[in-house]
Amino acid sequence: MNPSPRQNTPRANSGGRAALNSALVRVLAALSTLALLTVFIFFGILIRQKIEAKKTPADPLPASESGNAGFPPVSVGRDTEPSSGQPGTEEGETDRTVTEPAVPETAEATDTAKTPETEPQPVTEPPVTEPPAPPVQDPGVPSSPVIVMEAADPGADYLKDVYFLGDSTTYGMMVYAKDLVSYDHIWAGSGGTIDFTDITNKIIKWPDAVKSFMDWEEITIAEALRRARPKILIVTLGINYSPDGNATWTDEKREQYFRKQVKAVYDTVKENSPETKLAFQTIYPTIDDRTSIKNSRVDLRNKWLLAECEALNVPLLWSHTYMGDSNGQLIASYNADHLDGIHLNTAGFRAVITYVRTHPIS
């Protein structure tokens, strides 16, 4: 007998389910393989990006700021120590990247790598400044801190603050420089000169616009200082120095007495007009073959004057060199008309005033 179709149906259904299950298993296996492959590819991309970031760091510092001349600085991740400053090799960087945990490349991670808090800042060296050039000293002038250096001419108004005290080489200003210096700013002795001895008791003529010079009031230097209170006082004394004629005195004793007179002038000014700025001026050179006051003696006195000005820290106008020729003699065209080898004419006094204005007392 032939089997009935109803009896064969369960076996046929059972075979179909087995085939379906087998196909489903194969599909699931394929999907698992695909998912695993996707995961490997994803992590491979991340690792490759990490390696590339290590090889080409963003915005390297200039070599002068990185501390490694010619090498860019090493970028540092969140969990690593800052670079020691030595240039790394590609191989070293790759090895370190493999052992580090993968960090997603985000803007925050990049910024952190650029400026870690522990990264040392470059040291800025202070700018190197050249020392100021020393003032140019006039040729032939001794080097001394008290000697007044040449400066810009402050103009004619500067002389309104300047008074002059001196012997006959100063008195001549009243005649030969009256258009440059006001007569009442010139103090000279009663005979038009002053011997540089016993200076504290010396008498000068107090200027008077109405009377002649011989009729001017005679007062002490101290009294003149108290009356005028000059802003600046320039003293030119010493051409007349009678101890030089005393054969019993040694040069050492002459120097001591000369410097004592300089100190007396200083004390007189400080006691009677303490706000006055005091300055001395060297004795002008002479012409040896026209006078008995030789330049050898003038030079010696100017040396003494410099020594005492340094001791007192008082400014000194070294006009002696300016007024002399190449031989150290008074420039002949500056000598007065009577050619005595000592006194000045208009050209001579104009030279003095030019020197005073270009060597201002500050």
Segment-wise mean pLDDT, segments of 10 residues, the chain, 362 residues: 50 65 77 76 73 53 41 39 42 40 44 52 59 58 94 95 97 93 94 94 95 94 98 97 92 96 98 98 97 95 98 97 95 93 96 97 92
Domain count, the chain: 2
The pair of structure tokens assigned to 312 is 């007192």
pLDDT at 138: 63
Q: Is residue 33 part of a domain?
A: yes
Residue 119 lies in a domain: no
Where do runs of H (alpha helix) occur along the chain? 5-55, 63-66, 90-99, 107-114, 168-171, 173-176, 221-228, 251-272, 295-312, 319-322, 346-358
Taking CB atoms within 8 Å and a gap of at least 24, the contacts of 44-51 are 46/102, 46/104, 47/97, 47/98, 47/102, 49/105, 50/97, 50/100, 50/102, 50/103, 50/105, 51/94, 51/97
Question: Amino acid letter at 122?
Answer: P
Q: Which of 190, 213, 212 has its CA nearest to residue 201? A: 190
Residues 81 and 200 in one domain: no
CA nearest neighbour of 224 among 261, 260, 265, 257: 265
What pLDDT score was predicted for residue 85?
44
Does the residue 341 lie in any domain? yes
> Same structural domain for residues 69 and 164?
no
Q: What is the pLDDT of residue 38?
A: 77
User: What angle, rounded to 10 degrees, do the helices at 90-99 and 5-55 form?
Assistant: 140
Contact 287, 251 (CB under 8 A): no
Q: Is residue 217 one of the residues assigned to a domain? A: yes
Q: How far apart are CA 301 and CA 284, in angstroms?
A: 11
Q: How far apart are alpha carbons 38 and 13 in whole angstroms?
A: 37
Domain CATH for 166: 3.40.50.1110
Q: Domain limits at 317?
A: 156-358
End-to-end CA distance of the chain, in Å? 148
- Domain boundary pick from 55, 86, 114: 114
The answer to whether residue 11 sits within a structural domain is no
